[in-house]
Structure 1
């Protein structure tokens, strides 16, 4: 026997039957209770065994309790009981756990100072490790970059005792001397004064492979291809020498030059 439609009460035949919400409906009768929009099994929402669309689905509302004097008294009593229990638990657990230190302005200042000291130590270790690594191609990182945190490593004391002031030139130019004529019919050209100066001083000669602009007063600037004479090794990352083109003397990065 065919059931009756829950909407219109007429007989529902199998070809037009919709079985939903424990009831049987005609396809045209299965609609929203409010706007009468025809629904299907995908877009309907059931409430109290009645179909609704999404826009008219009943929303449950909560009743608001009036803030009466009796409710205020109960609320205050509950707060007092909570404080009593908290104090009891505190007394029982006193000395068993870690005490909480108040975050005072003085403690905040100490914490900030410790963080700054940790950052300085980190950048020092980073600079030392970076200076010890070989160059892997491309222009090397310059001292004074953001990653280096502007850290300046001074030369060792043993080298500082023998280094002249930065403003004083290390070598004085020697007068050019004419070479004696060779026996096979021509006279050899005199050596450049800069070559005689480097040879007379006995210092090492290097050639710049990158441009470098001095970041401090005790450094020298040079360009790619400049010769640097009387070079003294300070540590793995820095040298001391004189730029032959400009005559300036000071410190320079070791990974910007190559030995001649």
Structure 2
């Protein structure tokens, strides 16, 4: 007995029989499910035991994995393994910090300038809020020194009968550079720098670069490099 066609349901005779996708078709009924274009054994694509042409072949999508007990266990195990690897990498990398900034003389000078700017901001704040400066820098009484100890008489050794005459001070050469006045206190950070106090006059000043000068403190006679943003021209 001849079988029926899977498309039209009519009897399929051997001369027009197409056996494909576990079904029997007429040659004319073996066509695309969408556009009805007649197909053959070379150009068809099967999906769910149904023929399609190349243009209308259904695109497969990823299915969502169900949150079964086994899948949740595998997900938790993967997370634990990731944390173990992270901790191992962290322990290996400890103590291997790398410096991102090159330790060059220009960078050292830049860092020092940044510290000076912070120092200027601090001194400006202490000038505008002297009460806060007193809290930051307590007086002698907070260091265990009695405030009235300065009024006690101090016993000094009697002067010698024939003191050695002090040497005559050497004359200071006249200034040859510009004169500046310090507007902030500055403590020298290197041997080639000079310290001064707010209000000191700086003489023989020569510009080195945009941020530094060279000069001599008139009060102490000491000379060296000084930051340009700590002084102002007279």
Is the shorter-chain TM-score for this pair beyond 0.5, marking a shared fold? no
| Bigger Rg, structure 1 or 2 | 2
